[in-house]
Structure 1
């Protein structure tokens, strides 16, 4: 099941099963980058210690799915309050806590003040620091015409985490299917990219591709031998495709722009009910995102080939990070002339 939606490089996982249609936690990782040790599995949380294969740095991840009510909620509160977080370790806690911290964490009047006091007391007791979500006030919607919006998803770190990883950010993504806003926790880095030409399989699905190929192939070649003419035509085709691809938008950019539109409409919905044409436009954009994601699937499928079996980590972020390190080491910042 996991292999059906995760890239092959994510070969390790831990989970807490769902109860009916609610709950459930799944964590997947690449064992060539991180070694993962499962510390706890609860009905409402999974705790894993990760160790970097690169520099042996250790950090702990806690992913929670807080119960809404009943005895399970009481057990979750008790477990979270007594969670042991040493002051000299790096911890990242995230997930759907199903708690509000303040009255303005929902767009409509209401909220349980006692729950807010309990949640804030736990945060203070554990000495956690909140990672704010950039540009969003709420993370959950009941998906009604006049929606109830709340912030139920939270991201916290230990004090040491902020010192070691000061560029940690939580970025909201477009809510395309779930009633929760997907979020991405990032630690920024920059990796140089190669400028070599690559043919992309998804080009076959784009308008204008066959016209470009046909016009290039019809050009006359001055080469004498048949094999030389074919090689010359392929070289000409490569140049034509390089020029053609500059005129098409990159998939990542298109998906990013569509998600930005969805994100903008989601944010607007926090202040007022969307008009009919705005709601319909969001549906159209979500449908377009699905088509773009299908093309992106073709893009990445090409990169999951037998070559990965031969060269291993070349397709991993760890390989990219090592390439960046070599790039920095080999670069010449300045020359001193005596």
Structure 2
């Protein structure tokens, strides 16, 4: 499952989505942007959920998901709240008119509202907006899923930045009863001025122990020589089919052992993201020194190269 708001696109064709979303996501719903405002994309894996788009607005998409495994139903509303004007009023009225009932419902995204003056790193802010937002949350009976480990979710990316929390995750009360281990975790932001967030929902489904072939292995020195040596090795088999099966099992075992000795691309990206997250969190306490800011720019560029490399394979 993946949701993205504030995509400045008037349309989403398949080739663009493939650049943005993981390959396992094969179904999508979107709301186009208007100029530099809005734009929402929601993607899901149809082998896990069937999705029914309930409504599409300029500022929100709601999709009802049904599990293909146990037929459980829940609703996801992805939000990109307008900043001002008539559209902001329409967004507020629309939120107030939602009827949740007994549904398992999650709301997440960039609401462009904060709940308290402490959700900014500078003085100022609108008490009127705070009142409006908290009144919506109260009227709908929503519960906040707090962001772990970060205080703010948006930066204006200046040397002495304005930081705010305007991205939120809320659920219906029934959701917390059915999914008590729901977590909202921050991720590194190599591109956006918003912090990407990961929602984790606890499950008792065991993780399959399967062999995964990574396409980037073929670029490593010695890979083909290793495969050839394993394939040419003698195996005990009484016929051709058994011989091929035995060779494949041997190759899988050798590649699993070999892959632990080479640089793991996912691990490298994760480590870079962790360093970037430390710098972003440090910025919440004080402006970054010039050397720290320059290092963050270099690190973001490096992460983008790694992500591009991963996407190509």
> What is the TM-score of this pair, normalised by structure 2?
0.82
Could you tell me how far apart the structure 1 residues matched to 2:182 and 2:252 are? 41
Task: Say whether the 8 Å CA contact 1:201–1:298 is kept in structure 2.
Answer: no
Check if 1:38 corresponds to 2:53.
yes
Q: What runs of 5+ residues in structure 1 fail to find an aligned partner?
A: 224-230, 300-338
SS in 2 for 1:174: coil
1:210 to 222, 231, 237: 222
SS in 1 for 2:300: helix
Partner of 1:186: 200
Task: Say whether the 8 Å CA contact 1:47–1:60 is kept in structure 2.
Answer: yes
For residues 150-173 of structure 1, give each alpha carbon's deviation from its aligned partner in whole angstroms, at most 9, with x where no partner exists.
001010000000000111111111
Partner of 1:116: 130
For residues 52-71 of structure 1, give each alpha carbon's deviation from its aligned partner in whole angstroms, at most 9, with x where no partner exists.
11111111111111111111
Could you tell me how far apart the structure 1 residues matched to 2:129 and 2:93 are? 13
Aligned in 2, Cα 1:39/1:147: closer, same or farther, shift over 3 Å?
same
Partner of 2:63: 48
For residues 284-311 of structure 1, give each alpha carbon's deviation from its aligned partner in whole angstroms, at most 9, with x where no partner exists.
2222222322343355xxxxxxxxxxxx
Q: What runs of 5+ residues in structure 2 fail to find an aligned partner?
A: 1-12, 236-243
Partner of 2:95: 80
Task: Say whether the 8 Å CA contact 1:212–1:241 is kept in structure 2.
Answer: no
1:256 to 237, 254, 270: 270
Aligned in 2, Cα 1:285/1:205: closer, same or farther, shift over 3 Å?
farther
Partner of 1:290: 304
SS in 2 for 1:270: helix
Could you tell me how far apart the structure 2 residues matched to 1:89 and 1:236 are? 50
Please list, as runs of the form range in 1=range in 2, the aligned pairs for 1:297-316 lying within 5 A after superposition. Answer: 297-299=311-313
Please list, as runs of the form range in 1=range in 2, the aligned pairs for 1:242-253 lying within 5 A after superposition. Answer: 242-253=256-267
Aligned in 2, Cα 1:234/1:213: closer, same or farther, shift over 3 Å?
farther
Q: Mean Cα displacement is larger for which, 56-65 or 245-254?
A: 245-254
Could you tell me how far apart the structure 2 residues matched to 1:234 and 1:61 are? 43
> What is the TM-score of this pair, normalised by structure 1?
0.76
For residues 15-59 of structure 1, give each alpha carbon's deviation from its aligned partner in whole angstroms, at most 9, with x where no partner exists.
211110221111122223212222111121111211111111111
For residues 241-289 of structure 1, give each alpha carbon's deviation from its aligned partner in whole angstroms, at most 9, with x where no partner exists.
5554322242222111110100110000111111122112212222222
Could you tell me how far apart the structure 1 residues matched to 2:177 and 2:290 are? 47
Could you tell me how far apart the structure 2 residues matched to 1:281 and 1:83 are? 45
Q: What value does the CA root-mean-square deviation take over the aligned residues? A: 2.9
Aligned in 2, Cα 1:221/1:187: closer, same or farther, shift over 3 Å?
closer
Partner of 2:7: none
For residues 54-100 of structure 1, give each alpha carbon's deviation from its aligned partner in whole angstroms, at most 9, with x where no partner exists.
111111111111111111111111111111110x2100001111001
Partner of 1:132: 146
Aligned in 2, Cα 1:222/1:123: closer, same or farther, shift over 3 Å?
closer
Could you tell me how far apart the structure 1 residues matched to 2:195 and 2:38 are? 16
